[in-house]
């Protein structure tokens, strides 16, 4: 297992470099000029000086190499300095956002807590609901519970978040006035009342996201359980006199979790990426909204860094899913 993990990490390096190159080239070819938002009264020579200050006067290969060095070397050194109080990255140029004139990783670190509060909570809630619902729906196939669950999950999977988000705002925030319609990112949780308000303002976006994620995970869980419930080893376990609870919750569930683990693992990068549409609807000042504003402002360093971070997370959690396969199913071995 260690050999397989090390080999996959080695193979991930050229994969990530190729992804970084593709992202860089796509943004280079994309229309838009970072100087487009500069007032028309600014003289052309000043604009040219600003362009040089942003590094746009250098050849594309040089800019790509500098960004790679900053991402993989200088930024990790800054994180190390922040954690241990050292000065290894002192004086070294970091990745700077053109829009905020601040290091990109500092801006991202400021937005991550809001995303984790909302999207992370929704993902955890969805997993806790989807797995039991999928298990019971498969065990009681074609029952009233299974048919009702199928109906709800089809609606949740089919209705886009920009529609369901506006719908719950109209019902629960405008008509019933139970919950706030806009997420207050400046709210600080320092006492019980503040915590209760945080839960209230999180309820609507978490409900919208959890419904969509639960619909997907529960269908995967149900289909995987149905595939395993008819296998020979299940009949053998029952013939040996094992309790039904042990057969379903130990033998069947463990094998059924293998494909579901892939879906869960590949969905975790979405937590860090934020639900872009939902964050826009509820005005959550998270990573998703940061990406949208960076695209609108032609902030190429921010867009480039965010998209590459998402790619790194996807490659990383693909590896984690493969390792978990061997833990869930002893028959799977990587040599």
User: What pLDDT score does 63 carry?
Assistant: 85
Say yes or no to pLDDT of 335 above 70: no
pLDDT higher than 60, residue 122:
yes
Ranges assigned E (strand) in the chain: none
Give the structural domain span for 211.
107-328
Same domain for 194 and 58: no
Do residues 57 and 126 share a domain? no
Which residue shows structure tokens 């569930």?
253
Residues 69 and 168 in one domain: no
Per-residue CA distances from 153 to 45, 246, 260, 276 (Å): 59, 28, 16, 21
Last residue of a domain, one of 37, 53, 84: 84
Q: For residue 96, list its beta bridge partners.
A: 103
For position 35, what pLDDT does the model report? Answer: 63
Q: Is residue 276's pLDDT more than 80?
A: no
pLDDT for 117 equals 82
Secondary element (H or E) of residue 318: helix 300-328
The span from the CA of 219 to the CA of 326, in Å, is 23
Which pLDDT tens digit goes with each residue over 70-113?
Answer: 888 888 888 888 888 887 777 787 888 877 788 888 888 888 88
Domain count for the chain: 2
Q: How many residues does the chain have?
A: 335
Tokens of 172: 């629960």
Q: Quick: pLDDT tens for 160-191.
A: 888 888 888 888 888 888 888 888 777 777 88
* pLDDT value for 243: 84
Residue 335 lies in a domain: no
Same domain, 54 and 136: no
Distance from chain centroid for Cα 154: 23
Per-residue CA distances from 299 to 175, 188, 227, 240 (Å): 39, 29, 48, 64
Q: Looking at the structure, do residues 131 and 256 belong to the same domain, yes or no?
A: yes
Q: pLDDT-derived band of residue 47, with 50, 70 and 90 as boundaries?
A: low
Q: Residue 319: which CATH number?
A: 1.10.3720.10
For residue 42, pLDDT over 80 is answered with no
Q: Do 65 and 133 belong together in one domain?
A: no
3-class SS of residue 191: coil
**Is the same domain home to 261 and 161?**
yes
**Domain shared by 21 and 135, yes or no:** no
pLDDT beyond 70 at 54: no
Q: Are residues 51 and 171 in the same domain?
A: no
Claim to verify: residue 78 and residue 115 sit in the same structural domain = no
Buried b (16+ CB within 10 A) or exposed e, 149-188: bbeebeebeebebeebbeebbeebbeeeeebbbebebeee
Are 137 and 240 in a shared domain?
yes
Residue 303 lies in a domain: yes
Q: In this predicted structure, what is the pLDDT of residue 177?
A: 83
- Position 55 scores a pLDDT of 67
């Amino acid at each position: 297992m260690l050999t397989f993990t090390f080999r996959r990490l080695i193979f991930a390096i050229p994969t990530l470099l190729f992804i970084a190159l593709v992202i860089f080239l796509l943004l280079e070819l994309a229309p838009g000029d970072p100087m487009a938002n500069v007032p028309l009264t600014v003289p052309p020579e000043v604009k040219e000086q600003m362009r040089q200050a942003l590094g746009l006067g250098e050849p594309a290969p040089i800019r790509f190499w500098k960004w790679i060095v900053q991402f993989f070397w200088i930024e990790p050194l800054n994180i190390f300095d922040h954690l241990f109080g050292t000065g290894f990255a002192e004086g070294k140029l970091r990745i700077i956002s053109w829009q905020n004139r601040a290091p990109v990783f500092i801006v991202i670190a400021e937005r991550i807590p809001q995303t984790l509060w909302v999207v992370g909570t929704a993902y955890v809630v969805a997993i806790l609901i989807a797995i039991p619902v999928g298990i019971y729906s498969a065990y009681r196939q074609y029952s009233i519970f299974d048919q009702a669950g199928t109906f709800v999950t089809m609606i949740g999977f089919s209705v886009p978040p920009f529609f369901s988000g506006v719908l719950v705002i109209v019902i629960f925030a405008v008509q019933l006035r139970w919950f706030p319609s806009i997420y207050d990112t400046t709210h600080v949780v320092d006492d019980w009342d503040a915590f209760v308000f945080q839960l209230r303002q999180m309820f609507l976006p978490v409900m919208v996201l959890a419904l969509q994620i639960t619909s997907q995970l529960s269908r995967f869980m149900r289909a995987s359980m149905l595939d395993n419930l008819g296998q020979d080893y299940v009949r053998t376990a029952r013939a040996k006199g094992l309790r039904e609870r042990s057969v379903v919750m130990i033998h069947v569930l463990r094998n059924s979790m293998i494909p579901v683990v892939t879906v869960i693992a590949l969905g975790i990068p979405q937590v860090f990426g934020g639900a872009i549409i939902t964050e826009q609807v509820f005005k959550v000042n998270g990573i998703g909204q940061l990406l949208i504003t960076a695209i609108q402002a032609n902030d190429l360093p921010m867009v480039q860094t965010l998209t590459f971070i998402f790619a790194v997370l996807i490659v990383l959690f693909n590896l984690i899913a493969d390792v978990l396969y061997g833990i869930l199913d002893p028959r799977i071995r990587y040599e």
